[in-house]
Structure 1
Amino acid sequence: MKIKWLVILFLLVASILGGCSKDKPKDGTTKVRVAEVTHSLFYAPQYVAISEGIFKKHGLDVEITTTAGGDKTMTAVLSNGADIGLVGPETTIYVYAQGANDPVKSFAQLTQTDGTFLVARNQTVPFNWDQLKGKTFLGQRKGGMPQMVGEYVLSKHGIDPHKDLNLIQNIDFANIANAYASGTGEYVQLFEPTASIMEKEGRGKIVASFGLESGKVPYTAFIAKESYLKKNAKTAQKFTDAIYEAEQWVDTHSAEEIAKSVAPFFKDTPLDISIKVIDRYKSQNSYSTNPILEEDEWNNLQKIMKNSGVLPKEVPHSVLVDTKFAEKSTEK
């Protein structure tokens, strides 16, 4: 991976996030700017933390901006366009491998499985993975968690994604669903609620879950520069405490209750779709029930990266994962 993608996107992300104020709100809460890699019901606990007043309860005013892509999210964090990023932990390894003086660390895990689904066009017979051979597969960005897990699952089913498929992975993350809807590809890997909406509109059919197929993996976590975590330790602890409380809230409430809670963040998504999506994620244990990113999960992440040929170097868990905030949260 090259560091140049960070430089290229610097100005773009700065323009998106530059208007975010660092000033302390008048109500005395601490402002925290979060850049999320995409906007999805997959991140329900994050939105619950806002809608149920959990962040506010912990003295935080959290502002979320969608940056649409792991590279853009990391750029936002590195350029101080955001205090915290919500993204796949693999991005921290890429930056560390380039010799970063101020490493970016994962400090609170949000999801623990892949959140994408395989959508097929004109699927009229029972699905099996061999049906993908020789077909055009619209995948995700190379080096990102969705693509890596996708390749890991395909390999597990005896499919070489670079030899047995016509693999397309040069379409910008935000445009993948539109490309598929316009006729590109026979299969596509999509997040929710996009996958379910496409199915409801008759544009495709969900035939498999990459989350169920790949098992437990630290898919999405909150990251921040080491310097930010040191200078703002109290804020990081409050943030992690709130995330843990939100994760517990999601774990103990029904899909319908969660969908209604986060509805203001998904005004264009019908409530029945939201309920269906959240229930699907809950049933496959996608939502973390605590924010601790364990060492075995970290090692599994690197195994998946290695399988995809994008692991620049193996990095010990202790170097890029800071668990002290999450451990303190769960002890309360």
Structure 2
Amino acid sequence: MRPMWYGSRRAVLRLAAASAAAALVLTGCGAASGGDSGELVIAEPAHSLGYLPLYVGIDRGIFAKHGLNVRALTLQGGAAHTNAVLSRQAWGFIGGPEHNGFVQAQNPSQSAAIKAVVNVVNRGNVYFTAAAGQPAPPMTDVRSVASYLRGKRVVTGAYGGTPNSILRYVLAEGGLQASDVKLIEAVDAAAPMSIVAQGQADVAVVADPVLAQGVRQGVWQEPFFSPPNGLGPYAYSTVNVRMDTATGDGAETTRKFVQGMLEALAVVRDDRQAATEVAKKQFSNLPPEVVEATLERAYADQLWEYSGDITEPAVATALNVVRRAGVLKDGDKPVTYADVVDPEFVRAAAPK
């Protein structure tokens, strides 16, 4: 049976070329999980400014200081990043810990469990924005948002990805189903902007910097609903690794990586100039003002968990979202915090 996290049977839009390119990039990196090459590949579902602490750790030599050669690899698609770790083609992935729950729910006896070891983004890093000219008053209640979305053309990311799940969660909280909107599910994180610009969608559910870029180009408006504010603490993006590579002989590598992430998070917290420099370097294709607007929103929305701590309430929100969205079906044996998180590495690295 096809795993539920692999993709959507209802997808309206598939960008086959992007998926094929991602597959070609992944092929041949079998040593990327920390084998002979000594390289630790972190698979990411999109190149996102939310993942800035990871990029800071790489760019500023923080991981290298700990003897690690870390590289980020973008693999678009609802579960490509998870599958890369399962197949040992990446050491870890950055994304919601609910993806670990998908693995657990589908394979309860899975010996190669994947768990989150450090938090990065602790807010629902996605925003609801309406096309330019589309009336959309600011909203804070998810039921009002769902009512507004009824019958509209809504574009978001691929099924199984967290932006898609948050959209489905909002609809479910308002008593609606995905069929109550015209849902467009795009594999490429940048595709929603062109889809809205071409008049094919009324609303987009997207993350920065795509959001800020679309605002600047007049494609859509400032968000009318902000999950970072509306949903509160939310383990949105953690670094997740296979426990059979993170423990035993791999425990020291994991410890060093987590320590590096905590130091990188501290840089993002304490040195905005350094964080901005890395962000502009990572997104050199974007106008500087787009990067600056994205960072301003990220800091204002308290996007990052500087302590690296993965709390039980934040994980409960992540799991609740995918359950209500109908993506995680674990009624027979509910996935627990202990199933998807190993907090010991952060606890060991935290200042005493």
Q: CA deviation at 1:24?
A: 5.7
SS of 2:240 mapped into structure 1 = strand
> Aligned ranges for residues 131-280 of structure 1 at < 5 Å?
131-155=148-172, 158=174, 160-162=176-178, 164-169=180-185, 171-174=186-189, 175-208=191-224, 209-230=226-247, 231-254=249-272, 256-280=273-297
Q: Which runs of 5+ in 2 are unaligned?
A: 8-15, 139-144
Aligned twin of 2:25:
16
Residues 1:119 and 2:129 are matched in the alignment: yes
Matched, 1:312 2:322: no
Q: TM-score, normalised by structure 1?
A: 0.88
Aligned counterpart for 2:96 among listed residues 88, 101, 105:
88
Query: Partner residue of 2:115?
Result: 105
Q: C-alpha displacement at 1:66, in angstroms?
A: 0.4
**1:152, CA displacement in angstroms?**
3.0
Identity of matched residues, %:
25
Q: Give distance in 1, aligned partners of 2:169 and 2:101.
A: 18
Please give the alpha-carbon distance, in whole angstroms, between the structure 2 residues aligned to 1:24 and 1:163.
49
CA distance in 2 between counterparts of 1:272 and 1:125 reads: 26
Measure, in 2, the Cα distance between the counterparts of 1:217 and 1:161: 23
**Residue 103 (structure 1) shift:** 1.0
C-alpha contact (below 8 Å) 1:55/1:61 kept by paired residues: yes
CA–CA separation in structure 1 for the residues paired with 2:285 and 2:5 = 32
Q: 1:11 to 1:197 in 2, by over 3 A?
A: closer
Shift of 1:199: 1.3
Q: Distance in 1 between matches of 2:134 and 2:152?
A: 16
Letter in 2 for 1:146: P
Shift of the alpha carbon at 1:154? 4.6
5+ residue gaps in structure 1?
none
Give yes or no for contact 1:127–1:207 (8 Å, CA) kept in 2: no
The DSSP-based 3-state class of the residue aligned with 2:157 is: coil
> Quick check: 2:78–2:160 contact (8 Å CA) kept in 1?
no
CA distance in 1, matches of 2:44, 2:73: 6
SS at match of 2:320: helix
Pair 1:137–1:265, CA change in 2 (3 A): same
Q: Which amino acid is 2:112 matched to?
A: D
Deviation, 1:12, is: 7.7
Q: What is the total number of aligned residue pairs between the two structures?
A: 324
**What secondary structure sits across from 1:115 in the alignment?**
coil
Displacement, 1:139?
2.8
Structure 1 residues 325, 70: closer, same or farther in 2, change over 3 A?
A: farther
For residues 55-97 of structure 1, what are the alpha-carbon distances to aligned partners after superposition, in whole Å with 9 as ceiling and x for unaligned?
A: 1111111111100134110111111111111122111111112
Deviates more, 1:309-318 or 1:82-91: 309-318
Q: Residues 207, 123 of structure 1: CA spacing in aligned structure 2 closer, same or farther, 3 A cutoff?
A: farther
CA 1:243–1:70 in structure 2 vs 1: closer, same or farther (change >3 Å)? farther
- 8 Å Cα contact 2:22-2:76 kept in structure 1: no
Residue 165 of structure 1: CA displacement? 2.6
Q: Summarize deviations over 1:12-46 as a string: whole Å, max 9, x none.
A: 86642234455666xxxx42111111101111111
Secondary structure at 1:127 match in 2 = coil
Equivalent of residue 73 in structure 1, options 63, 68, 81: 81
Measured on the aligned residues, the alpha-carbon RMSD in Å equals 2.6
Which residue of structure 1 lines up, in the alignment, with residue 343 of structure 2? 323
Distance 2:116 2:3 in 1: 19
